[in-house]
């Protein structure tokens, strides 16, 4: 189906005018015209103005329109959710309060109204996610059409991907909002229908033991070795199928091949992208080369409505795979052997049921091999302890395995796999595969599975929050391969495609700050949701302020003290449960929060005085925090309990600063003494400046001694106050600058006066000589002198 028709069917009527105008983009692209090689394009060529009009409409007009609507709708949904929370808070009975029949009736009415509102919010959240996905796909489709038709001179897709990575509409996570809705639904139903089932039911606890929480991440190629060594210090490498337990040589990491199935209409792919209920997947999976006759497993996985999964798996031999896919092979011999044992009757029935389920699933959906995923896996796990399971997949290659093009099939339609790969033992990077049939994923894939409640040890949490990994929730090799290799056959793409062009490496301190913000935001949401359930007074167990940066434990990262001393940006408001860096370092913290204020001119002036330093360290130290409930100020810190032990370099640094101030004092005194002695008795300006410089020299010496004693006292007391002080340097610098300016001004004025006096004297002298000087003699008519003076 063409994307235009898919878009029309996906439109949510109330939001009809806010979708991407795909028809207009195709009109601007002039898709109805022929390609560049035909005569029609030569008669009406694609110009710079056409390119500018298309890019302007795609990048600025349509993308901004979609993003603005998504942001506004998401904000509105959160406000409506907060309003529902406020209504439900009033329904929470106070301690010791007895409810009357009237109050209970009123609570039911309010709960019914909130339930109706929650239904509307839940529906719009679902529609908003579909809205984001279909528009995201539309932008990629439009960019691809442009690059395919006009790509010889202009390419838009890289620019579009950079722009998409900067906008939230295709990357916003609605999980916190859905979690809030889920809690409120439970509370409302408890009011309307009675008590909800207890979460500590023994059966539920038994089932919870087998549940794993999965976390997926991307790892940049530069960080793979660092991640491996970090995990190896806690978990050993899980060895696959060692030949003998006595061998000392550990085999190489196995190469795993997964062959994914789908229908020609890609039904399974579309269900998985849309996260449809009961979405299923089917794959064949084996380790190592197929020529070594490994065990082949056919696996069907169904995602249940509660985000769990159910798996059906059978083991096959290579010669029976094609027969089983056609429904001809039924494991008759194996079933006969199992039926001979009376105690295996239940297993026989279960095995028959699994066989029938797999074959009917293939038959009903017309499934066939579509995609091959080949990768090298390194697994980490303590033998016999499956609480923490970690796998790192590298060299991931996704290869087409379909026969959709009858003229150029990727495999033999009568076989179940590509023999050109398996018979020749082809390995990564599969250089012989034709372009367009293979995609090599640029990063490694890290998956952490935690058993039970999903909480790992401190080192696991540090790894997941570090700069070495980038979180990639719901990433799927199958979905990524289909989206990259079959983009002409599908009309829905996963959101992570827009991030492939970005550099996923991060600065350690930036990663730490982002993780702290995320944890604080989650804690704030947990408190808001739990407030009407009577648990709002307790901090969220998922938020635990870290001592220093967790990434400081990795090689090349910043030290814990430096990361902890890094202050937060002043523009970001203080989270209610976020512990500032001063408290993490062990410094005394005041329990009352200080509101954020806009700096005024008077407050800026106070920054120049000794007690109001504006350094980053001092600002972090002056931050205040609201201590969590049940936590009080200790009064005396553990760091102050023992004897004072200060490194020598701290004392020496203080002494060096004192010596520098004395050096400045001596220089100023020498300058003032020389200036005063060189000036004569009549040069009052020079003598005055000499006295001024002497005053500054005395001030520098006294200030240096004062600061030396003050800092020495702070060091001995282990004070948390700041050591730097800008008052003294500013006074000396401003004073010297003012003295030099005044010196120049006085000398300039004196010089101008002297020049003016000389000019007046010269003028008066010239006029006097011309009027009173007698003639020197009389001259005859012939020019001879007659009389001389």
Going from the C-alpha of 390 to that of each of 277, 357, 446, 455, the distances in angstroms are: 27, 31, 7, 14
**Contacting residues for 608 by C-beta, under 8 A, at least 6 apart:** 726, 727, 730
Query: In a 10 Å sphere around its CB, with 0-12 CB exposed, 13-18 middle and 19+ buried, how is residue 233 labelled?
Result: exposed
pLDDT in tens, 523-533: 766 665 555 55
More confident residue, 420 or 582: 420
Question: Are the CB atoms for 437 and 400 separated by under 8 Å?
Answer: yes
pLDDT in tens, 347-370: 888 888 999 999 999 999 999 999
Section 39-66 average pLDDT: 80
Quick one: which of 300, 313, 307 has its CA closest to 214?
Answer: 307
- Residue 91 confidence (pLDDT): 78
Distance between the two ends of the chain, CA-based, in angstroms? 128
Section 453-467 average pLDDT: 81
Question: Are the CB atoms for 84 and 187 separated by under 8 Å?
Answer: no
- Residue 372 confidence (pLDDT): 95
Question: Are the CB atoms for 416 and 321 separated by under 8 Å?
Answer: yes
Quick one: which of 178, 130, 171 has its CA closest to 274?
Answer: 130
- Residue 240 confidence (pLDDT): 63
- Weakest mean pLDDT among 126-130, 169-173, 669-673: 169-173
pLDDT in tens, 284-310: 999 989 888 899 999 998 876 666 678
Going from the C-alpha of 738 to that of each of 453, 602, 733, the distances in angstroms are: 69, 23, 9
Helix (H, G, I), strand (E, B) or coil at 298: strand
Question: Are the CB atoms for 717 and 709 separated by under 8 Å?
Answer: no
- Residue 141 confidence (pLDDT): 86
**pLDDT at residue 544 is higher than 90:** no
Residue 538: band (very low, low, confident or very high) from pLDDT cuts 50, 70, 90:
very low
- DSSP output for 553-591: GSTTSPPHHHHHHPPPPTTSPPPTTPPPHHHHTT----S
**What tokens appear for 474 in the block?**
């719901």
Which residues, in sequence order, are bridge partners of residue 274?
A: none
Interatomic CA distance for residues 441 and 220, integer angstroms = 11
Helix (H, G, I), strand (E, B) or coil at 347: helix
- Kindly state the helix (H) or strand (E) to which residue 316 belongs, with its residue range: strand 309-316
Measure the CA angle with vertex 535, ends 529 and 539; round to 5°.
Answer: 85
**pLDDT at residue 571 is higher than 70:** no
Quick one: which of 312, 309, 311 has its CA closest to 212?
Answer: 309
**What tokens appear for 247 in the block?**
């061998």
Which of 453-457, 582-586, 679-683 has the highest average model confidence (pLDDT)?
679-683
- Residue 591 confidence (pLDDT): 34
Residue 324: band (very low, low, confident or very high) from pLDDT cuts 50, 70, 90:
very high
- Residue 242 confidence (pLDDT): 47
Helix (H, G, I), strand (E, B) or coil at 374: strand
Residue 406: band (very low, low, confident or very high) from pLDDT cuts 50, 70, 90:
confident
pLDDT in tens, 236-247: 888 765 444 444
- Residue 401 confidence (pLDDT): 93
- Identify the residue whose tokens are 């028709």: 5
- Residue 238 confidence (pLDDT): 81
- Residue 139 confidence (pLDDT): 87
- DSSP output for 61-125: IIHHHHHHHHHHHHHHHHHHHHHHHHHHHTTSPPTTPPPPHHHHHHHHHHHHHHHHHHHHHHHHH
Section 217-227 average pLDDT: 89
Interatomic CA distance for residues 553 and 466, integer angstroms = 9
- Identify the residue whose tokens are 């003032």: 672
Mean pLDDT, the chain, integer:
76
- Weakest mean pLDDT among 51-65, 259-273, 392-406, 582-596: 582-596
Residue 469: band (very low, low, confident or very high) from pLDDT cuts 50, 70, 90:
very high
- DSSP output for 707-743: HHHHHHHHHHHT--S-----HHHHHHHHHHHHHHHHH
Section 698-720 average pLDDT: 86
**Contacting residues for 764 by C-beta, under 8 A, at least 6 apart:** none
- Residue 151 confidence (pLDDT): 67
User: Given the DSSP bridges, would you call strands 777-779 and 255-262 parallel, antiparallel or unpaired?
Assistant: unpaired
Section 597-611 average pLDDT: 42
**Contacting residues for 23 by C-beta, under 8 A, at least 6 apart:** 4
Interatomic CA distance for residues 377 and 392, integer angstroms = 6
- Weakest mean pLDDT among 135-149, 339-353, 700-714: 339-353
Interatomic CA distance for residues 275 and 173, integer angstroms = 14
**pLDDT at residue 208 is higher than 50:** no
**pLDDT at residue 634 is higher than 80:** no
**pTM: predicted TM-score of the whole model, two decimal places:** 0.55
Residue 443: band (very low, low, confident or very high) from pLDDT cuts 50, 70, 90:
very high
**Contacting residues for 374 by C-beta, under 8 A, at least 6 apart:** 255, 256, 257, 258, 395, 396, 397, 399, 428, 430
- Residue 349 confidence (pLDDT): 87
**pLDDT at residue 69 is higher than 50:** yes
pLDDT in tens, 75-130: 898 888 888 888 888 777 665 555 555 577 888 888 888 888 888 888 888 888 88
**pLDDT at residue 200 is higher than 50:** no
- Residue 766 confidence (pLDDT): 65
Question: Are the CB atoms for 487 and 144 separated by under 8 Å?
Answer: yes
Quick one: which of 109, 110, 129, 117 has its CA closest to 180?
Answer: 117
**pLDDT at residue 221 is higher than 80:** yes
Interatomic CA distance for residues 567 and 785, integer angstroms = 101
Question: Are the CB atoms for 121 and 181 separated by under 8 Å?
Answer: yes
- Weakest mean pLDDT among 83-87, 260-264, 523-527, 721-725: 523-527
Write the Ramachandran bin of 242: left for phi over 0, alpha for psi from -120 to 50, otherwise beta: beta
**What tokens appear for 368 in the block?**
């066939």
Going from the C-alpha of 703 to that of each of 624, 645, 733, the distances in angstroms are: 31, 27, 14
């Amino acid at each position: 189906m063409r994307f235009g028709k898919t878009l029309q069917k996906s439109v949510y009527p109330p939001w009809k005018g806010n979708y991407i105008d795909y028809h207009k983009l195709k009109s601007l692209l002039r898709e109805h015209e022929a390609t560049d090689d035909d005569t029609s394009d030569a008669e009406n060529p694609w110009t710079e103005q056409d390119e500018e009009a298309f890019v302007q409409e795609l990048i600025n007009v349509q993308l901004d329109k979609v993003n603005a609507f998504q942001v506004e709708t998401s904000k509105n949904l959160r406000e409506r959710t907060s309003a529902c929370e406020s209504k439900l808070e009033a329904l929470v009975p106070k301690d010791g309060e007895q409810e009357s029949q009237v109050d209970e009736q009123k609570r039911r009415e309010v709960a019914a109204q909130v339930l109706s509102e929650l239904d509307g919010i839940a529906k719009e959240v679902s529609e908003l996610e579909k809205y984001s996905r279909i528009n995201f796909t539309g932008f990629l489709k439009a960019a691809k059409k442009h690059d395919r038709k006009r790509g010889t001179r202009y390419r838009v897709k890289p620019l579009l991907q950079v722009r998409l990575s900067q906008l939230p509409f295709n990357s916003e996570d609605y999980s916190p909002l859905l979690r809030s809705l889920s809690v409120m639904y439970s509370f409302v139903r408890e009011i309307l229908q009675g008590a909800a089932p207890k979460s500590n039911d023994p059966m539920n606890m038994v089932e919870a033991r087998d549940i794993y929480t999965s976390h997926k991440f991307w790892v940049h190629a530069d960080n793979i070795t660092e991640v491996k060594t970090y995990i190896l210090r806690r978990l050993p490498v899980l060895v696959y199928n060692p030949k003998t337990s006595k061998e000392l040589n550990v085999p190489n990491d196995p190469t795993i091949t997964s062959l994914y199935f789908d229908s020609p209409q890609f039904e399974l792919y579309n269900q998985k992208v849309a996260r449809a209920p009961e979405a299923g997947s089917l794959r064949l999976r084996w380790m190592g080369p197929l020529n070594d006759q490994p065990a082949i497993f056919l696996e069907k996985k169904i995602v249940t409505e509660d985000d769990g999964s159910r798996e059906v798996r059978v083991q096959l031999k290579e010669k029976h795979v094609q027969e089983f896919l056609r429904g001809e092979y039924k494991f008759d011999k194996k079933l006969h052997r199992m039926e001979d044992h009376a105690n295996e009757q239940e297993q026989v029935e279960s095995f028959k049921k699994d066989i029938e389920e797999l074959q009917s699933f293939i038959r009903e959906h017309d499934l066939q091999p579509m995609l091959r995923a080949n990768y090298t896996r390194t697994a980490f796990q303590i033998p016999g302890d499956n609480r923490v399971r970690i796998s790192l997949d590298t060299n991931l290659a996704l290869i087409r395995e379909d026969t959709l093009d009858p003229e150029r099939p990727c495999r033999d339609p009568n076989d179940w796999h590509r023999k050109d790969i398996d018979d020749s033992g082809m390995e990564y990077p599969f250089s012989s595969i034709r372009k367009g049939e293979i995609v090599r994923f640029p990063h490694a894939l890290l998956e952490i599975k935690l058993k039970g409640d999903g909480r790992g040890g401190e080192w696991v949490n540090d790894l997941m929050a570090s700069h070495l990994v980038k979180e990639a929730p719901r990433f799927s090799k199958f979905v990524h391969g289909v989206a990259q290799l079959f983009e002409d056959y599908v009309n829905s793409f996963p959101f992570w495609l827009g991030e492939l062009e970005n550099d996923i490496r991060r600065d350690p301190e930036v990663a730490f700050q982002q993780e702290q913000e995320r944890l604080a935001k989650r804690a704030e949401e947990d408190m808001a949701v739990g407030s009407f359930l009577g648990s709002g007074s307790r901090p969220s167990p998922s938020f635990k302020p870290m001592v220093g940066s967790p990434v400081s434990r990795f090689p090349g990262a910043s030290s814990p003290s430096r990361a902890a001393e890094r202050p937060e940006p002043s523009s970001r408001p203080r989270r209610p449960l976020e512990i500032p860096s001063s408290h993490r370092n062990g410094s005394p913290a005041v329990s009352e929060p200080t509101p954020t204020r806009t700096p005024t001119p008077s407050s800026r002036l106070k920054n120049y005085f000794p007690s109001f330093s504006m350094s980053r360290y001092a600002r972090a130290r002056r931050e205040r925090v609201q201590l969590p409930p049940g936590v009080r100020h200790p009064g005396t810190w553990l760091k102050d309990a023992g004897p004072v032990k200060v490194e020598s370099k701290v004392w020496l640094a203080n002494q060096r600063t004192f010596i520098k101030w004395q050096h400045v004092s001596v220089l100023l005194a020498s300058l003032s003494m020389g200036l005063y002695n060189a000036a004569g008795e009549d040069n009052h300006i020079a003598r005055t400046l000499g006295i001024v410089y002497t005053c500054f020299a005395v001030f520098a010496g006294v200030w240096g001694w004062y600061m030396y004693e003050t800092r020495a006292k702070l060091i001995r007391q282990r004070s948390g106050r700041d050591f730097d002080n800008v008052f003294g340097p500013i006074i000396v610098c401003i004073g010297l600058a003012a003295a030099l300016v005044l010196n120049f001004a006085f000398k300039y004025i004196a010089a101008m006066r002297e020049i003016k006096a000389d000019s007046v004297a010269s003028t008066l002298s010239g006029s006097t000589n011309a009027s009173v000087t007698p003639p020197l003699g009389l001259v005859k008519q012939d020019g001879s002198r007659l009389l001389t003076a």
